[in-house]
Amino acid sequence: MNGHLRFEDPAPQRIVIVRALPGLGDLLCAVPAFRALRSAFPAAEVTLIGLPWTKSFVQRFDTYLDRWLAFPGYPGIPEVPVSPQRTIAFLQQVQQAPFDLALQMHGNGSTMNGFAMLMGAKWTVGFFPKGQFCPDTDSFFPYPEHLPEVQRHLHLLKFLGISQQGESLEFPVSVSDRSEADAILQAYPLQQPYLCIHPGASTADRRWACEHFAVVADALAAQNFQIVLTGTTAEKDLTQKVAQMMRYPAIDLAGQTSLGALALLLQQAELLICNDTGVSHLGAAVQVKSVVIFSQSEPHRWAPLDRDRHRIVVMPTIEDAHLYPAATSMQVLREALNLLHLEEVSYAS
């Protein structure tokens, strides 16, 4: 190893990653680090400690991840209600057969470092906030606030002497995913070329207005693109609202697709227009061109790294908004047309 922390022989055989964050993007942005870790330790058993939904994520990414454990909760981590009995029982269980290497990849470590250290691994590695407590100067490093999320995790592995295996996201699809996607294509009058419009996001303050999505969708439909509206079942009211505001017809698939089928649908689309939410990272993983609208979160941290394929526009509420194009209907349409290699068109505001 060429990093600050040198492992003794033998190399770690049992590795655990702590990342108990709620969003799909939170996990997809860590995939390049998972890929690098697997390349460095091909024979190791890698376990992810995460929220309940991430069990299916581990199953999908079984090339890099072998086991899943449910995060039991810990004081200061809001995603899981704290039960002292459950947390203590979990820690006692993992301490009986300690991991060789624990990677705290939940965040800057201000709270989660305590949980990671209590697991009792031979080596525990992570970040700590600059100017705050560092659990171990040999294996904890200042949190790189300036880096994009993908690069933060790779930066951590760099300290371990682990070479990155690229920064690109990925999303494996299964035979059942393909069967479901084929069934959707047969059930709906979906014709190429089509564009996907995804108006949802985890919270209302991260959603661009439905009327803006409708204006852009109509302008692109006028260019002979079929418009497909996507979202979860809970977001169906948003897709219905966009469809009702449009002058052109749209196919509303909200609540009709699993994650795998949605990935395949995006993969075949000409373009994705969405808020900064999990589908943005899914789009980057399947390499569909996209226009991503930021209303609250940090573009320098969460925007796709390839700015030729993925265009970023922001609302005035974003810090350093002057560094990016403004999220107006005309600007989003302009970015979309540029990605589609079409000339700018007029639209009804």
Judge whether residue 153 has pLDDT over 80. Answer: yes
Lowest mean pLDDT among 11-25, 158-172, 181-195, 266-280: 181-195
Pair 152, 301 in one domain:
no
% of the chain with per-residue pLDDT over 90: 88
Pair 151, 201 in one domain:
no
Helix (H, G, I), strand (E, B) or coil at 67: strand
| Tokens encoding 105 | 């990849």
Residue with tokens 């009986």: 96
Query: What's the N-to-C CA distance of the chain in angstroms?
Result: 59
Q: What is the Cα–Cα distance from 264 to 282, expressed in whole angstroms?
A: 10
Pair 105, 195 in one domain:
no
Q: What is the Cα–Cα distance from 280 to 283, expressed in whole angstroms?
A: 5
User: Each residue of 217-262: pLDDT tens digit?
Assistant: 999 999 999 999 999 999 999 999 999 999 999 999 999 999 999 9
CATH of the domain at 188: 3.40.50.2000
For residue 206, the 8-state DSSP code is: G
Domain that holds residue 216: 175-339
pLDDT in the model for residue 319: 87
Pair 123, 191 in one domain:
no
Closest CA to 282 of 266, 271, 298, 305: 266
Distances (CA, A) of 172 to 69, 126, 286: 21, 28, 9
Q: What is the Cα–Cα distance from 299 to 52, expressed in whole angstroms?
A: 28
| Domain assignment of residue 94, yes or no | yes
pLDDT in the model for residue 3: 47
> Which pairing describes strands 290-294 and 310-314: parallel, antiparallel, or unpaired?
parallel
Mean pLDDT of the chain: 94
- Write down how long the chain is: 349
Pair 137, 179 in one domain:
no
C-beta separation of 213 from 197 below 8 A: yes
Judge whether residue 2 has pLDDT over 90. Answer: no
| Domain assignment of residue 3, yes or no | no
| Domain assignment of residue 129, yes or no | yes
Pair 92, 211 in one domain:
no
Pair 45, 145 in one domain:
yes
Q: Domain tally for the chain?
A: 2
